[in-house]
Amino acid sequence: MSTEILVKDLRERSLPVAALSIGIGILTIGALGVYSGMSDTLDDLTKDFPEELMSFMGGDAPGGYVVGEVFNLIAPLALVALAVMTGAAATAGEEERKTLGMVMGTPVSRTSVLVGKAGALLVALGAATGGFLLAASAATAWFDVGLSTGNVVATAVHLGALALAFGAVAMAAGAVTGRASVAAGVAGGIAVASYLANSMLPLADLDAWAELSPWFYYAGSEPLVNGFDPTHLLVLCGLAAAAFAVAVVAFNRRDLKG
């Protein structure tokens, strides 16, 4: 792995990662703090919502509506968006900015370049997920929201694996097309479509089809209640590894520009 490329990418990502970590941390602590004092009122307001709407919003999670919003909608969408943008920019962004030539000018192989980019994606996601975990753990300790710290940790790890899978898909799409916008659109579109499938298919008694969605392997085992699910984590890590393998093959074979 090219350490120089890893450090360069991390330097470029440091500001958005810090901003997202701080923003999602403040939102998490604020939302769970408000919920702890208004849980009965909020539950009364949402108890008559249609099942389809609650499922789409992630409001059927353990702990109530606001807890579900934080862990099943807000935090996942924020971290997946970060992963997709980072993965799309890894190689395709360099091509579009005409800076890939300088990167490839270093005495390392294309695979080493891509491994450095993947390492930066992993570290950036780890930092952002860690920021969310710290905030959620603090809120769990400070407020009565019906969650255990161990299960919050398990959920954050599942979430990090989910985001990594979509980030790797974006990296693969970027390596294939050389266009960051296309890579982000492909990975983002898959993320949204699979989220909707995981939320809506069980309502039509199509639970087995929902298991094709990566989101199922994030929340399907209910880590907020049951803790880690090693099988689901392996599936998400396997998806990330498969997408990265596609990226390596495409990046090594394509006539690069920039």
Sequence-distant (≥ 6) Cβ neighbours of residue 50 within 8 angstroms: none
Cβ burial 41-59 (10 Å sphere, 16+ → b, else e): ebeeebeeeeeeebbbbbb
Measured CA angle at 136 (ends 187, 167), to 5 deg: 15
Which of 45, 75, 85 has the alpha carbon at shortest distance from 139?
75
Q: What is the pLDDT of residue 57?
A: 58
Which of 121, 124, 130, 134 has the alpha carbon at shortest distance from 172?
121
Q: How far apart are the first and last CA of the chain?
A: 21
Crossing angle of the two packed helices 110-142 and 149-177, in degrees rounded to 10:
150
- Burial class of residue 92 in the structure, from the number of CB atoms within 10 Å of its CB (0-12 exposed, 13-18 middle, 19+ buried): buried
Domain hosting 35: range is 3-253
The two three-digit tokens of residue 80, written as one number:
């997946």
The three-class DSSP label of residue 49 is: coil
Q: Is residue 234 part of a domain?
A: yes
Cα diameter, the chain = 63
Q: Is residue 258 part of a domain?
A: no
Give residue-wise pLDDT tens across range 147-163: 888 999 999 999 999 99
Q: Is residue 125 part of a domain?
A: yes
Domain count, the chain: 1
Residue 213's pLDDT band, with cuts at 50, 70 and 90, is very high
Q: Is residue 90 part of a domain?
A: yes
Q: What global pTM score does this model have?
A: 0.88
Separation of alpha carbons 103 and 117, rounded Å: 11
Q: Do 218 and 239 touch, CB atoms closer than 8 A? A: no
Q: Is residue 60 part of a domain?
A: yes
Q: Is residue 199 part of a domain?
A: yes
C-alpha torsion angle, residues 24, 26, 31, 33 (rounded to 10): 140
Q: Check whether 59 has a pLDDT greater than 60.
A: no
Q: What is the pLDDT of residue 105?
A: 65
HSE, side-chain direction, 13 A CA sphere, residue 231: 5
Written as one string, the DSSP assignment of 67-126 is: HHHIIIIIHHHHHHHHHHHHHHIIIIIHHHTT-HHHHHTSSS-HHHHHHHHHHHHHHHHH
Residue 55's pLDDT band, with cuts at 50, 70 and 90, is low
Q: Is residue 31 part of a domain?
A: yes
Q: Is residue 239 part of a domain?
A: yes
Q: Check whether 194 has a pLDDT greater than 90.
A: yes
The answer to which of 31-40, 81-90, 170-179 has the lowest mean pLDDT is: 31-40
Q: Do 3 and 50 touch, CB atoms closer than 8 A? A: no
